[in-house]
Amino acid sequence: MNSDELKSIIREQEDDIKGMFDSESLIDRSAPDLLSHLSHPNILAILGVRRCGKSTLALQLVRGKKFAYINFDDERLYGMGPDELDGILEAFYSLYGKDIDYLIFDEIQNIKQWELFINRLRRTKRLIITGSNANLLSGDLATHLTGRYVDYYLLPLSFREFIKLNGQAVYEGKTLTTYERSNVMNLLETYIKTGGFPEATLVSRAILPRIYKDILIKDGILHFNIRKRKTFSDLARYLISNRSCEFTYSKLGRILGISNVHTVKDYVEYLCDTNLLFYLERYSSKLKSQFLSPKKAYCIDTGMAASIGFNTSENMGHTIENLVAVELMRRNWQGDLQCEMFYWKDEVQHEVDFVIRKGMLTRSLIQVCYSIEDPVTRKRELRGLVKASMDLDCDDLSIITWNTKEKIEFEGKEIRVLPLFEWLMENNI
């Protein structure tokens, strides 16, 4: 590609950015002061699922500053080789001069062998890169840049961001009036159905199947050169439909007709690398037992799950568990808490949905249940928490429900019960 063509593409993308700024259609994302980490020779890597707002966050960070930007998720740049990347730098200098504070390379994983180019630039430039692959920094770049980059994982809009986007106040720590509570509950129902992909909120949730297809094909099938495309797609839809449920590789293999369990494992890992899904291990003090036990899968967005998965009315409990799982991941990643998350189950099937551990200590145990009004359900959920509390030496016990708030004393333990909307508006793990 010649210099004039590159400059034309950069200019067109620049016009698109100005249009977003002028129309105020950029959604301000909640994030820490990321630029404070970006001094020579550091790189800021913003990672996350495709179309969750990584470009928006990168542009939000440099708004009002001198920057140059290129988005490699442009069909005119497909097939560009690493030897052509210097041409982009030349085009930047030709258009903006050398007085540029930040260089932004959006969806850079689309260019093969991009790592050495970035490694060379970071010695004199302040760089922001974005990528939709979870393993973007697991290869050569991480090897070359040990201690010289900061990564930040961005997820779709949180409920707090969704509330603000809808012009409402976040009622953290405030006793709500009947009207305020009804309003927030209505917003929560909409949020669960729509999810947190910005385009679904700003345009229509009808766009979600197209986003899903882009993720599955571009970041999954094409990126990993998968030949059995239908099997891979069927696996994704099965796991999304059965979110918050246990699975084993052997069971998935039987369902999908895949004889090689290693292929199933690879496919699951590929789906996780697209950031479309993630899974939790069952907690065990024995590492081998942890690896061999069933895992629980979650979709990165409840709106995506509702649009793609096979759903029934009985799935509401699984859906709010999925939402809690995503929010816990958000608070851990974005708060840099460096916690590990598991689920717990003992030999007589007592279960706790989320075990939050840091180092050798269990910080908290969280149970998720749509309702604990039924006495049998109530006893089951409380008993699971108490058993896990004794096993893991943890007294921070919570149950998240749809609409119940109380404190319960059960078998010598105090258990906090919170409605989902209130927990989502908190800002801690």
- DSSP β-bridge partners for residue 46: 130, 152
Amino acid at 78: Y
Give the pLDDT of residue 242: 94
pLDDT value at 148 more than 80: no
Apex CA 194: angle with CA 136 and CA 15, to 5°? 60
pLDDT band at 247 (very low <50, low <70, confident <90, very high): very high
Give the pLDDT of residue 38: 80
Give the pLDDT of residue 130: 93
pLDDT band at 42 (very low <50, low <70, confident <90, very high): confident
As given in the structure block, the two tokens for residue 323 are 């939402």
pLDDT digits (tens, 9 = 90+) for 346-396: 999 899 999 999 999 999 999 999 999 999 999 999 999 999 999 999 999
Helix (H, G, I), strand (E, B) or coil at 255: helix
Give the pLDDT of residue 79: 83
Give the pLDDT of residue 112: 82
Q: In this structure, are residues 320 and 337 in contact, taking their beta carbons and an 8 Å threshold?
A: no
Q: In this structure, are residues 132 and 310 in contact, taking their beta carbons and an 8 Å threshold?
A: no
Indicate the range of 96-105, 215-224, 304-313, 317-326 predicted with least confidence: 304-313
CA 212 to chain centre: 14
Give the pLDDT of residue 115: 83
pLDDT band at 1 (very low <50, low <70, confident <90, very high): confident
15-19, 113-117, 155-159: which is most confident: 155-159
Q: Where are the beta strands (DSSP E) in 242-330?
A: 246-247, 277-282, 295-299
pLDDT value at 263 more than 70: yes
Locate all alpha helices (DSSP H) within 125-177, ordered by sequence: 140-144, 159-165
Give the pLDDT of residue 190: 95
**Can the peptide bond before residue 41 be classed as cis, meaning omega within 30 degrees of 0?**
yes
DSSP state of 215: I
If you average pLDDT over residues 30-54, what whole number do you get?
A: 85
Helix (H, G, I), strand (E, B) or coil at 1: coil
If you average pLDDT over residues 228-253, what whole number do you get?
A: 96
C-alpha to C-alpha distance for 335 and 327, rounded to whole angstroms: 11
Give the pLDDT of residue 110: 86
Give the pLDDT of residue 140: 54
Judged on CB neighbours under 10 Å (0-12, 13-18, 19+), 175 is: exposed
pLDDT value at 174 more than 80: no
C-alpha to C-alpha distance for 192 and 304, rounded to whole angstroms: 10
- DSSP β-bridge partners for residue 127: 43, 103
More confident residue, 274 or 112: 274
Dihedrals phi, psi of 406, to nearest 5 degrees? -170, 170
Apex CA 311: angle with CA 310 and CA 312, to 5°? 135
% of the chain beyond a pLDDT of 70: 93
pLDDT digits (tens, 9 = 90+) for 305-328: 999 876 655 578 999 999 999 999
pLDDT value at 155 more than 60: yes
Give the pLDDT of residue 149: 78
C-alpha to C-alpha distance for 334 and 57, rounded to whole angstroms: 13
C-alpha to C-alpha distance for 197 and 303, rounded to whole angstroms: 8
* Contact partners, residue 293, CB within 8 Å, separation at least 6: 281, 282, 284
The count of C-alpha atoms lying within 13 angstroms of the C-alpha of 110, restricted to the half-sphere facing its C-beta, is 20
Q: In this structure, are residues 416 and 399 in contact, taking their beta carbons and an 8 Å threshold?
A: yes
Give the pLDDT of residue 94: 94
Indicate the range of 109-113, 186-190, 277-281 predicted with least confidence: 109-113
C-alpha to C-alpha distance for 374 and 378, rounded to whole angstroms: 6
pLDDT value at 3 more than 60: yes
Give the pLDDT of residue 40: 64
% of the chain beyond a pLDDT of 90: 65
pLDDT digits (tens, 9 = 90+) for 411-428: 999 999 999 999 998 866
Q: In this structure, are residues 105 and 128 in contact, taking their beta carbons and an 8 Å threshold?
A: yes
Q: In this structure, are residues 70 and 10 in contact, taking their beta carbons and an 8 Å threshold?
A: yes
Give the pLDDT of residue 180: 85
If you average pLDDT over residues 10-28, what whole number do you get?
A: 79
The count of C-alpha atoms lying within 13 angstroms of the C-alpha of 411, restricted to the half-sphere facing its C-beta, is 14
